[in-house]
Structure formats: structure tokens, C-alpha cells
Amino acid sequence: MQAGPPWTLHVPTLTPFHPLAPISPISAVQAPSAIVEEPTPSTTVVPDRYSEIHVKRLVFFKIENQLFSITENALRLSSQFRTMLDSAHIGEPGEGTEEHPITLQGVTASEMESFLTILSARIWAGPPELDEDGWAAALHIATMYSFRDIRNYIIKYIDDQKFYSPVRLIEMANRSDVPKWIQPAYLALCMKPEMITVDEAIRLGPPVYTALCRIREEVLKKGLSGVMSRGRMHTFCHHPPPQNSETTSNQWGGPSQWTARQHAACDQCVDEAVKTHVPEKEYIRLIRAAPELDVPDEDEQQENGDDEW
């Protein structure tokens, strides 16, 4: 077989490199008679999507002599900061830079740290590991600076976890404007079998504490009177005496006959009577009627709830 002409590699003239332009491959052609056409420049217009997804500049804040940096993208989740960023003038030249940070008043550094922990969390990683104080602080920041989506997320998480005491929930509701927490918290304090503690009374304040005690006393009277009017008061008390009772063992050796007044002295019997004969709606009616508690009605709770905030 007669050998053909030798094969050689012909490299076309290089065009200026563009990252979005097609790269011409090296062609294998016969020499010397092969004619290689120059590649036609691409006329395809590739949209520049980089500007839509890139991380914008950092904005620096100063809180209690500590610096915090937040991306502009994250700040735009806040309607308050979004308005500031879109304004033509936000203060001194270079404001928001590391050299000239924006000073925030009314918040603490620890509160901002808790908020940024939630802000930087990823959905697939689950909720961030924060204690009760951390979640409360983050809710305060989200409310104060109008981070609506983050605020709703925190409120839903707190609703699901249910780890706050009624008094703490009342404090958070008043501070962060969550009216739907007020009535359930008051209801829990009114219905709990234990007395309201001194610490709880101090945190609630004299007007609220007095109103709750009045409701508890009124419900207690209603419960006992309801039991007695129905002839349901037991003739015998089978509950064991309290640990500090001075009642002799002979008196508790068997079922002893008690008067209605003596029977009411048994706390367990009283609790059972109240729970049985005073419905929850009666507590709610008294709570709403108390002027000291100032519980918002259902329409106001819906209007100012987390979904509509």
C-alpha cells in the first residue's frame, strides 16, 4: 500500500481568551494542502448572572465597644436596614466601614451574638444551639430591627419547644410585642396548683400579681361552692395527712368524719374540686375582665400576631 502524505498538527491563530467564549480545539489536518478556516467568533450573548448571586459588601456595627460585620444581603432581610441602605445618604462618608462603624444603641453585644447565630444558621443543619436567654435575645433583636422572617422563625421555634416559664413568657411577650403569649401565660399562673412565688410576684409587678391572686381566690370559692351545691362534698376524707400535720395517728387510722369546713382544709381535695367544677373558660373570662392584666382581645392578637407583624 502506498503511504500517504505525513500527518501534522496545525494550530490555528489564537484569539483573545474570554472565559465565556468557546475555545477552538486543536485540529488534525493533512499538510501541506489542507486549508484550515479561522473559527468564526461567537456572537452568543451570555447573560451575566454573577451580579445576582454575589455576596455584597460587609457593613460594620459597633456595640459596647465590639465590632460586628454583617453582609448587606443579610441586612436587607430587615425592612428598617433595607430603607437605610437604599437611602441616598446614611451619614458620614464611609459610614458602615470597619474604620467608621455604625453605632447601635439599646442592644447588647451578647444579644447581637445570639441573633447572628440564628441569622447564619442553615436550614438543613437544624436550629442553632442557643439557651433560653439566647433565643429571647435574638427575638428582641429581630423585633427591634424588623427582621420579620427571622422573628417568625424564632416565635414558631419557641411555640414548639415550650421551654419558657409563664412569667418569662410574659416578659418576652411585652418586650418583643407577641400578644398571643399573654393570655395563655396568665392562664397557666392561675391554674397551677402551687402558689405564685415571691420571685414571680416581683417580676410580674404588684398590679398583675394582685389581679392573679384575686382570680385564683374567686375560682377557689366558685369551685368549692359548686361542689357543695351539688351535694358532691365527700363525707370522708381519704387523703393522707400532710407531712407537717399535728393530727394524731388515731384520727387518721381510718376514714374520719369531717365537716365541710374541715374538708376544705385538705389541699388535694380543694384542687380536685376546682379542677372538676371550674372550667377553663371561667378562668379566661376572669382574666380578660381584669383591668390590671390588660389582655388583648382575639382580634387584636390576630392583627398583631407574628404572621401579620
- Residue-level pLDDT, tens digit, the chain, 309 residues: 455 554 444 434 444 444 444 444 444 444 445 455 555 554 544 445 444 445 568 899 999 999 999 988 899 999 988 888 887 655 556 788 888 899 998 899 999 999 999 988 866 677 888 999 999 999 999 999 999 999 999 999 999 998 899 999 999 999 999 999 999 999 999 998 889 999 999 999 999 999 999 999 988 887 666 555 554 444 445 556 555 544 444 443 444 443 444 444 465 665 665 555 567 888 899 999 999 998 877 655 554 555 544
Residues 6+ apart with CB under 8 A from 4: none
**Calpha distance 139→100 (Å, rounded):** 27
**Calpha distance 125→153 (Å, rounded):** 15
Q: For the chain, which residues make up each domain, given as ranges?
A: 55-163, 186-238+255-303
**Calpha distance 101→105 (Å, rounded):** 13
**Calpha distance 220→224 (Å, rounded):** 6
* 73-77-83 Cα angle (round to 5): 90
Query: How remote is the C-alpha of 180 from its chain's centroid?
Result: 13
Neighbours of 223 (CB within 10 A): 20
CA terminus-to-terminus distance, the chain: 88
Q: Of 219, 217, 189, 220, which is closest to residue 204 (Cα–Cα)?
A: 189
Q: What does pTM read for this prediction?
A: 0.65
Select 55-163's CATH number: 3.30.710.10, 3.40.50.720, 3.20.20.100, 1.20.1630.10: 3.30.710.10
Answer whether 190's CB lies under 8 Å from 283's CB.
Answer: yes
213 by DSSP, 3-state: which? helix
